[in-house]
Structure 1
Amino acid sequence: MPSSRLKRILAAGCSALLFAALAPPLQAATLRMAIQGEPASLAPARVNGTVFDNDVLGDLYEGLVTLDATGRYIPGVASGWQVSDDGRTYTFELREDARWSDGEPVKAVDFVTAFRTALDPKSPSVYASLFYPIEGAQQAARGEVALESIGVSAENEHQLRIELVQPITYLPALLAHIAASPLPTHLIERLGDDWSSIDEIVTNGAFAPRSWVSHDHLSAVKNPYFHAAESVALEGIDYYPMEDPAAGVQRFRAGEFDVVRSFPVGDYPRLAQQLGEQVRLSTELGVYYYALNQRDGQPTSDKRVREALNLAIDREVIADKIMQGTVIPAESFVPPGVDHYQGAQMPGLDAPLDQRQARARTLLSDAGYSASPLVLRLAFNENRTNRSIAIAVAAMWRAIGVETELVNAEASVHFSNLAGGQFGIGRASWIGDYDDADNFLGILQSGNAKNYGGYRDDQFDALLERAAAEQDQQRRAAILQAAEAQALDDYALLPLYFDASRNLVAEGVKGWQDNVLNRHLARWLSLQAQ
């Protein structure tokens, strides 16, 4: 049975269904969207893996598979595909009307280029591990075999073949990821790495970038060569990076934005009352957590310290007081609602807080922090909610004798530091790329670029490998649950809450549909005359 928090989120989502009778006519216009930060790059293999990377690149590129307005997977550049009897070989037929924004055809070799680029050991994508189910991909990313040997090949200009290590049921979902977007081979051969500069770039999605003023806005216009251009209502999109959600709300209320991709959770009751159905709160496959750096020399390389820090957190206070009851306290890593999965639970969190605090103090003393206190640096990307949570967590840790220095930075710098291991404890979140527990647990696997804390456990890795090879759904779920239990028993990270998507969507925006992936491609949106 859903919790009261979950019921509240579901109710808010249901109340946001719009009534369309006697609606004014649609108009071709430019959508103004406030996103949570600036993309690290417009090249799919060079993004940092943030929500706002998806917001932008999801509109600029289209993979073999894409998403409809409800978050359902549908054919993209591929018009269809066939699967071999053993489930290990997929043959994709590319639509002949797929074009880059310079009018050149999208070819099968463009996908070969994309996968090889993502797996290049000299500069691998942060998402490289997503493609390890492909034959030879993991070995190529490690530099053990040539990139040309991976199981992705162009049979001809319009036919792509992908060979897998073993069958997986979620390959189409993987291929909808921005990291699986094609790359313009014809442009890369001429320009090299400069192909993705704003003056040279071409893309194959519904929109193509036109201009980029750093830290101000990025403009994209409708791609006239997009295969479904006639069904795209918008003339363009302007993306505005707004690391201060409160400022985004203020500009939305002033009519400057049509969509705001986040708002301060503390404002939800007031905004819901004042803006009504323009406030969209919906369940989401997302977890907000703190990465614990386990590299040599870090205090959190000691399991006792990681356990103490986890035990000291009152997640109910964070969920109810700071997040206004719009999220669910997290005592595991995989969110509730993931298909065919029942999560594990971190040990010790079911005890009363005073007992947890007492054990935390003992653990810290055993770890050598009795004579002098443990001093930590807690890093977060600057916004009001992240700061409020960090202040609350620091106070909870102070109760067990831990001193905390708060360190904030703009989002791009913060996530770059996380990826480089340049932090002590770091604020992070993970939004499901696809609806499967492996998509969450996989980021804790050894060598994964999103494994910010550097967690490494042979048993955990082995369980994920077993799950990847298991075709029986129930047995696979049990193996994944055992893997999650192992990571939680190691206190590999510090989960805080399971998130809900929070968007502001103006009344004139039509076609918006809440979905658990919180993905909203602009090709499905339109603006209505007011």
Structure 2
Amino acid sequence: MISLGFATVLATQYSHALPANAKLAKVQMLNIGIGEEPKSLDPQKCNESTCTTIVRQIFEGLIQANQEGKIVPASAESWKISADGKIYTFQLRKNLKWSDGSPITANDFVYSLRRLVDPKIASEQSSLLEFVVNAKEIVDGKKVPNTLGVKALNNQTLEFVLTQPTASFFENLTVTNTFPVQEKNVEKFQDSFTQVGNLVSNGAFKLTYRKVGDKVTVERNSNYWNNKETYLEKANFYSVVDQNSEFTLYETGQLDLTSTIPVNQYKQIKHKYGAELVNQPYLACYNYVFNNEKPPFNNSNLRQALSIAIDRDAVANSVLGMGQKPLYDPVPYGLKNYTQSKVYWHNWPRAKQLEEARKLYQEAGYSESKPLTLHILYNTSEAHRKIATAVASMWKTNLGINVITENEEWKTMLDKRSKGQFEVLRMGNVANINDASDFLNPYRSNDLSNDAKYRNPEYDAIVNKALQEMDLAKRKSLFEKASQIILKDAPVATIYSYVSSYLIKPYVLGLKKNNMDKFVLAGVYISDRKAID
């Protein structure tokens, strides 16, 4: 996040140089488990963590957050920010090329950023540019995309003009939705431009194979500006939804890196593979989203009753037990410049909490003799199933609710989510940037990622004021005030703050996920196994 001191920034050296004593294996290929099938490899349309993982390897933005979460140069080698904080000017690296060998210019970024706010694309992440001149009006259909306040001053210089200083804007440009696509490529193939054989990209790798239900393969892009410090020749991303199956593939050597580990085997895995197990907090929260537009979930008393009836300690510590922390606030633990708010019933004895839940349930028109029937929608996963089963039991035991759990494949669930075809939806909210706005923006009335269909003008006004506030203390206070409204209205029941748990082979070096569970493969290499025995 930037502060109020604006000036020319000389970028620190971007380097993935090998250690002096590194010994590389002859075959530089990495096999990675990614869980769900990626929905889209279109940078502007990708709206979930699986596709983001792959997009981050085949495309590259102006800047990126490194393993420590610090902003480092990527396609831009330097930048400057005007004294009033409204103009950002980026200088691209010389001789940038697309994977087809053609030059990358500032106009490619202009085209892509216009595409991000174009209503025809309807990107859920268009709010990343909402303080760029005319962005809001373009998203609302009041102005055309070519009026966006982004322009190419020349082939290597890109300028953003903002309506006002914005504390999180710099970090917003690290998000994959702002990454460039090649205009000629997109216009020629339209919706099929991301298919194998069509896709032109600018990252360290290029797409060479994709089969739904199998894998996505990327190979080294010899036209990448820092190809000399890319060591892997190929990476395969396997879609393995079942966590036990993914673990078996790791044990048999078919995977070098997993997306997660089976919840029911955590202790055994920790004992057997302690040196290969990574278990660290990361900036994400697990939510049960209520459809606020669909009766009876438009009743805040009912939503609050449902939230109270969930025993978060039991879910985090007994159902999961891998270090997840019970959470009530919509913002996970660990974000900069933010302190979690508490619900009004947080410190009550559990018996009193449940008494309050039953009272609110009755005020919403339900009772033991007139029970509510509801449906929980979640994507196929053993962990999600266990949580849904536990929450269903809590709602049945504590309130007498009849709960029907429904699991769908990832893409199907996301389609139902976008169409509002759910009552209660399991959804993880994972940080794109290390800023509370990333978790609070989606509850604004007109935000395209407002899954809950929640509407509260007071909330909108406070969040929008926070986004415009450059004094970090005042901004923090406003965001925390906004979260208190969420806790009062309960459009969502946040259950816990995530941990990232995965296995990685000891011969995979240079790969480390940051606190947003993100990584790049540039600089990663496979060590000669004899060197680590």
- The TM-score range, normalised by the shorter chain, is over 0.9
Give the match's secondary structure for 1:459: helix
The 1-side partners of 2:235 and 2:380 are apart by: 25
Pairing 1:283–2:281 present = yes
Pairing 1:234–2:232 present = yes
The 1-side partners of 2:391 and 2:296 are apart by: 17
CA contact (8 A) 2:203 2:221 kept: yes
1:175 is matched with: 173
TM-score (norm 2): 0.93
Matches within 5 A, 1:116-265: 116-265=114-263
2:493 is matched with: 494
Matches within 5 A, 1:7-18: none
2:109 is matched with: 111
The 2-side partners of 1:264 and 1:168 are apart by: 41
The 2-side partners of 1:198 and 1:175 are apart by: 27
Amino acid at match of 2:442: I
How far apart are 1:36 and its partner, in Å?
A: 1.7
2:313 is matched with: 316
CA contact (8 A) 1:380 1:408 kept: yes
CA RMSD of aligned residues (A): 1.6
1:453 is matched with: 452
Matches within 5 A, 1:288-307: 288-295=286-293, 297-307=294-304
The 2-side partners of 1:289 and 1:189 are apart by: 38
CA contact (8 A) 2:204 2:227 kept: yes
CA deviation vs aligned residue, 1:217-275 (integer Å, no higher than 9, x gap): 11110000000001001001101011111111110000000110111233221111111
CA contact (8 A) 2:24 2:525 kept: no
CA deviation vs aligned residue, 1:54-91 (integer Å, no higher than 9, x gap): 11111010001123343322111111111111110111
CA contact (8 A) 2:286 2:497 kept: yes
CA contact (8 A) 2:309 2:354 kept: yes
1:368 is matched with: 365
How far apart are 1:215 and its partner, in Å?
A: 1.2
Instruction: Name the count of aligned residue pairs.
Output: 509
The 2-side partners of 1:59 and 1:109 are apart by: 22
Pairing 1:464–2:463 present = yes
2:13 is matched with: none
2:417 is matched with: 418
CA contact (8 A) 1:68 1:524 kept: no
Matches within 5 A, 1:431-446: 431-446=430-445
Amino acid at match of 1:262: T
2:339 is matched with: 342
Give the match's secondary structure for 1:378: strand
Q: Which runs of 4+ in 1 moved over 4 A?
A: 20-24
How far apart are 1:308 and its partner, in Å?
A: 0.4
CA contact (8 A) 1:394 1:404 kept: yes
Amino acid at match of 2:343: M
How far apart are 1:335 and its partner, in Å?
A: 1.6
CA contact (8 A) 1:445 1:461 kept: yes
Structure 1 unaligned spans of 5+ = 1-19
The 1-side partners of 2:80 and 2:163 are apart by: 17
Amino acid at match of 1:173: E
Give the match's secondary structure for 2:39: coil
Give the match's secondary structure for 1:289: strand
Say which is worse superposed, 374-383 or 38-47, in terms of deviation: 38-47
Match of 1:390 among 372, 388, 391: 388
The 2-side partners of 1:464 and 1:115 are apart by: 24
Match of 1:355 among 339, 352, 355: 352
CA contact (8 A) 1:112 1:153 kept: yes
CA contact (8 A) 1:117 1:124 kept: no
1:268 is matched with: 266
CA contact (8 A) 2:167 2:469 kept: no
Say which is worse superposed, 167-176 or 457-466, in terms of deviation: 167-176
How far apart are 1:126 and its partner, in Å?
A: 1.5
How far apart are 1:194 and its partner, in Å?
A: 3.0
Amino acid at match of 2:364: A
CA contact (8 A) 1:243 1:411 kept: no
The 2-side partners of 1:365 and 1:492 are apart by: 19
Say which is worse superposed, 502-511 or 367-376, in terms of deviation: 367-376
Match of 2:57 among 52, 56, 59: 59
Distance 1:273 1:24, change over 3 A: farther
Amino acid at match of 2:433: Y
Distance 1:505 1:21, change over 3 A: farther
TM-score (norm 1): 0.93
The 2-side partners of 1:322 and 1:457 are apart by: 34
Distance 1:22 1:462, change over 3 A: same
How far apart are 1:38 and its partner, in Å?
A: 1.4
